[in-house]
């Protein structure tokens, strides 16, 4: 993994701060994500992980510091802007419309249209289903019932749909907030293997988890936050559970 | 565990889980989806048997009965199409009944006033147009209250229910407003090859609304908002704009309902839609929509409205005291919701966590 150190980072966060009044939720924080790299973000509750990802994904405007995308400074007024630049956040609650198909979820808000009878604009469900099949195949995920609402699928499959949407719209950086939290063990392993797929496709992943086993199974580096500041950064190959826990609790 | 090789993701592979392609579940889901049409078929069979036994005459094959049922269904169905959109989005519109009354009064006044200045057919069109446009005003207010000021739909539209009611009675001077326009009367009572104009207009309108709900982005976003408004917002859907358009749309459906009411009775009455509001909600629910939002179809609502019309007309036809209608419709609503619940449990749909 050392050779990636030379490439331009996909995402670079420099001295980022976010203050809410007197509360310094995030203070002078820096990190980088390179192509094909999975960076785990760890920290106790209230350590500033959520503030950080919200600042990166355009939900919050940072108080200070800068965000660089492939070396270019960027500022996002809204999450939509961040998404257009290729930063996709996959939230815990998945942000799927349960009653719609995989394709409809992938295209939600930007549905393709076609002309029926040569004049009447209608939703192009075939194109949506086709794109859904293709995308899920790229994630090595095979679903046969493309018209079924996603509520019929399991937690891991739904997670895959959320990731699939990001992949379809060519997100280069995926921020995943506790993607394995609500899942059973086999499903967790499936999500871990999805993250490996993303990595193999050269995307950058910021992976937030409480589960150290998952972090060690999938990440290249781990960045630990404590009370809004960076408490440490380690290569996964050069650290262990105990050290990470110590960084998290400040022991 | 410390250095799981990322170079070998295949090791991590878990076979994708089997699809939930259980055919039995599919069947139950399909029955639940089409339950309104099954109800309708069952009712027609019951009334047919009843009619033959009691009078030795056919019920279903009598064109007069079919016309009457269709005419019966027109007004509740027009309210229910708008209500379908609103309920799918997770809201409810309680003001539709009196918006319809307001529109009926406006249609009568506008047709009369325009009739003094322009030819009768144009005056009729002007009256209908005025009714639909004026109906949009309470719709705009509903939409703004709900989308910008975060008033719950139940309360916002309940308030508008009162406002529209008062406005309609004030404009009507507390009485009904007769229409002097032969074209308007013809529209309300004429037939085209045995099919009343009112039914034709409603059918065309319902098809357009079906298209809007099932084939356009507006319809698709409506389902998404009903299922998960957060997801819809994160997908970049303009929720506020959508909600505003939604309530204007449902109010305008009621506006058309009011105009057609005025045509049918050649008079506008403020209380035109009073008993129809709950019928419209019932039609939507019988048609398969969930009051929690996210599901429902226009075709289901059509069946739901027909079920109510068949019960109402059929029970009169077989000479049962009219009060049984209320009980019958009530029982159908409850059974319909029970089927919906059962289907949700069986189809393995996640309950809300």
Domain limits, chain B: 38-46+61-338
| Residue B232 touches partner A, C-beta closer than 8 Å | yes
Q: What is the DSSP letter of A114?
A: E
Q: Is A134 a residue whose pLDDT tops 90?
A: no
Q: How does pLDDT run across A26-84, given as a tens digit for each residue?
A: 888 899 999 999 999 988 888 888 889 888 988 888 898 999 998 889 988 888 888 88
User: What average pLDDT does the structure give for chain A?
Assistant: 86
What local confidence, expressed as pLDDT, does residue A6 receive?
57
**A204 touching B (Cβ < 8 Å):** no
List of chain B residues whose C-beta atoms are within 8 Å of the C-beta of residue A156: 17
Mean pLDDT, residues A166-190: 84
Residue with the two structure tokens 């936050």: A225
Q: Which residues pair with B301 in a beta bridge?
A: none
Q: Which of residues 10-69 of A touch B (CB under 8 A)?
A: 38
The mean pLDDT of A88-112, rounded to a whole number, is 86
Q: Do B347 and A200 touch (CB under 8 A)?
A: no
A94 pLDDT band, cuts 50/70/90, is: low
Instruction: Tell me the pLDDT of chain B (353 aa) as tens digits.
Output: 344 344 443 334 444 444 444 455 567 777 777 888 988 999 999 999 999 998 888 888 888 999 999 998 999 999 999 999 999 999 999 999 999 999 999 999 999 999 888 999 899 999 999 999 999 999 999 999 999 999 999 999 999 999 999 999 999 998 899 999 889 999 999 999 889 999 999 999 999 999 999 999 999 999 999 999 988 988 888 999 999 999 999 999 999 999 999 999 999 999 988 889 989 999 999 998 988 889 999 999 999 999 999 998 988 888 888 888 889 888 988 888 888 787 777 655 443 33
Give yes or no for A99 touching B (CB within 8 A).
Answer: yes
- The Cα of A213 is separated from the nearest Cα of chain B by a number of Å equal to 7
Least Cα separation, residue A27 to chain B (angstroms): 27
Contacting residues for B27 by C-beta, under 8 A, at least 6 apart: none
CA-CA distance, B127 to B209, in Å (whole number)?
22
Which is more confident, A162 or A3? A162
Given its phi and psi angles, is residue A58 left (phi above 0), alpha (psi -120 to 50 degrees) or beta?
Answer: left
Structure token pair of residue B50:
């009843």
Task: Please tell me which residue, B205 or A242, carries the higher pLDDT value.
Answer: B205
CB of B33 closer than 8 Å to CB of B41: no
Question: A176 pLDDT exceeds 60?
Answer: yes
What pLDDT shows up at residue B126?
94
- Is the CB of residue B23 less than 8 Å away from at least one CB of chain A? no
Q: Quick one: DSSP state of residue A4?
A: G
Q: What phi and psi, each to the nearest 5 degrees, are found at residue A72?
A: -100, 130
What does the alpha-carbon distance between residue A30 and residue A65 come to, in Å, rounded to a whole number?
9
Superfamily of domain A7-86+172-251: P-loop containing nucleotide triphosphate hydrolases (3.40.50.300)
ipTM of the complex: 0.81
CA-nearest residue to A106 within chain B is B235
Residue B24: the pLDDT is 53
Residue B346, chain A, CB below 8 Å: the answer is no
Backbone angles phi, psi at B174, to 5 degrees: 75, 10
Q: Which residues of B109-147 are buried (b: 16+ CB within 10 A; e: fewer)?
A: bbbbebbeeeebeebbbbbbebbbebbbbbbebbbbbbb
Task: Show which of residues 116-145 on chain A sit within 8 Å of chain B, judged by CB atoms.
Answer: 116, 120-123, 140-145
Residue A91: the pLDDT is 79
Look at residue B15 in the predicted model and tell me its pLDDT. 41
Q: Do A104 and B235 touch (CB under 8 A)?
A: no
Percent of chain A with pLDDT over 70: 96
Name the residue among B12, B19, B230 with its Cβ closest to that of A192: B12
Q: Could you tell me if B241 lies within 8 Å of chain A, comparing CB atoms?
A: no
Q: Which residue of A has its CA nearest to B16?
A: A141
Q: What is the pLDDT of residue B2?
A: 41
Search chain A and give the residue with CA nearest B225.
Answer: A97
In the 3-class helix/strand/coil scheme, how is A148-216 assigned residue by residue? CCHHHCCHHHHHHHHHHHHHHCCCCEEEEECCCCCCCHHHHHHHHHHHHHHHHCCCEEEEECCCHHHHH
CATH tag, B38-46+61-338: 1.10.3470
According to CATH, where is 3.40.50.300 located in chain A? 7-86+172-251
> How high is the pLDDT of residue B55?
86
Position B351 scores a pLDDT of 38
* pLDDT reported for residue A151: 85
How far, in Å, CA of A46 to CA of B200, rounded? 62
Q: Do B235 and A95 lie within an 8 Å CB cutoff?
A: yes
Tokens of B314: 């059929």
Using the beta-carbon criterion (under 8 Å), do B3 and A236 form an inter-chain contact?
yes
């Amino acid at each position: 993994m050392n050779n990636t150190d030379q490439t331009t980072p996909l995402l670079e966060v420099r001295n980022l701060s976010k203050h809410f009044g007197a509360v310094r939720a995030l203070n002078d924080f820096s990190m980088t994500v390179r192509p094909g790299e999975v960076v785990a973000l760890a920290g106790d509750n209230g350590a500033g992980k959520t503030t950080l990802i919200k600042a990166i994904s355009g939900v919050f405007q940072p108080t200070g510091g800068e965000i660089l995308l492939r070396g270019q400074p960027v500022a996002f007024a809204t999450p939509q802007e961040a998404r257009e630049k290729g930063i996709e956040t996959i939230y815990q609650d998945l942000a799927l419309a349960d009653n719609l198909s995989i394709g409809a979820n992938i295209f939600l808000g930007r549905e393709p249209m076609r002309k029926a009878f040569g004049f009447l604009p209608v939703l192009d469900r075939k194109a949506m289903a086709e794109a859904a099949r293709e995308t899920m195949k790229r994630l090595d995920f095979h679903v046969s019932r493309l018209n079924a609402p996603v509520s019929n699928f399991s937690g891991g499959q739904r997670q895959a749909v959320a990731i699939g949407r990001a992949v379809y719209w060519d997100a280069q950086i995926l921020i995943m907030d506790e993607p394995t939290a609500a899942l059973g063990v086999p499903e967790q392993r499936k999500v871990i293997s999805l993250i490996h797929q993303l990595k193999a496709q050269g995307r950058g992943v910021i992976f937030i988890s409480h589960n150290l086993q998952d972090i060690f199974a999938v990440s290249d580096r781990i960045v630990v936050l404590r009370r809004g500041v960076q408490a440490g950064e380690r290569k996964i190959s050069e650290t262990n559970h105990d050290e990470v826990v110590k960084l998290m609790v400040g022991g | 565990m410390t250095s799981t090789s990322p170079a070998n993701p295949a090791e991590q592979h878990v076979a994708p889980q089997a699809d939930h392609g259980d055919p039995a579940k599919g069947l139950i889901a399909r029955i639940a989806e089409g339950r309104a049409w099954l109800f309708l078929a069952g009712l027609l069979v019951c009334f047919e048997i009843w009619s033959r036994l009691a009078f030795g005459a056919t019920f279903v094959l009598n064109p007069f009965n079919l016309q009457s049922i269709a005419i019966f269904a027109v007004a509740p169905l027009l309210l229910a199409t708008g209500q379908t959109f609103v309920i799918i989005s997770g809201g409810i519109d309680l003001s539709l009944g009196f918006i319809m009354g307001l529109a009926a009064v406006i249609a009568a006044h506008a047709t009369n006033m325009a009739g003094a200045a322009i030819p009768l057919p144009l005056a009729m069109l002007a009256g209908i147009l005025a009714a639909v446009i004026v109906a949009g005003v309470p719709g705009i207010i509903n939409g703004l209250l709900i989308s910008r000021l975060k008033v719950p739909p139940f309360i916002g539209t309940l308030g508008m229910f009162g406002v529209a009611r008062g406005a309609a009675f004030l404009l009507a001077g507390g009485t009904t407003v007769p229409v002097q326009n032969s074209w308007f009367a013809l529209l309300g009572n004429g037939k085209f090859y045995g099919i009343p104009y009112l039914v034709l207009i409603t059918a065309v309108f319902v098809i357009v609304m079906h298209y809007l709900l099932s084939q356009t982005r507006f319809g698709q976003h409506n389902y998404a908002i009903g299922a998960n408004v957060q997801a819809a917002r994160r997908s970049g859907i303009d929720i506020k704009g959508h909600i505003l358009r939604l309530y204007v749309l449902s109010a305008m459906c009621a506006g058309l309902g009011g105009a057609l009411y005025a045509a049918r009775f050649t008079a506008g009455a403020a209380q035109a839609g009073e008993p129809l509001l709950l019928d419209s909600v019932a039609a939507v629910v019988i048609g398969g929509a969930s009051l929690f939002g996210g599901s429902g179809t226009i075709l289901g609502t059509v069946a739901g409205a027909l079920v109510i019309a068949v019960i109402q007309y059929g029970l009169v036809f077989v000479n049962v005291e009219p009060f049984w209608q209320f009980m019958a419709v009530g029982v159908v609503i409850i059974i319909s919701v029970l089927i919906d619940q059962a289907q949700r449990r069986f189809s393995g749909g996640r309950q809300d966590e």
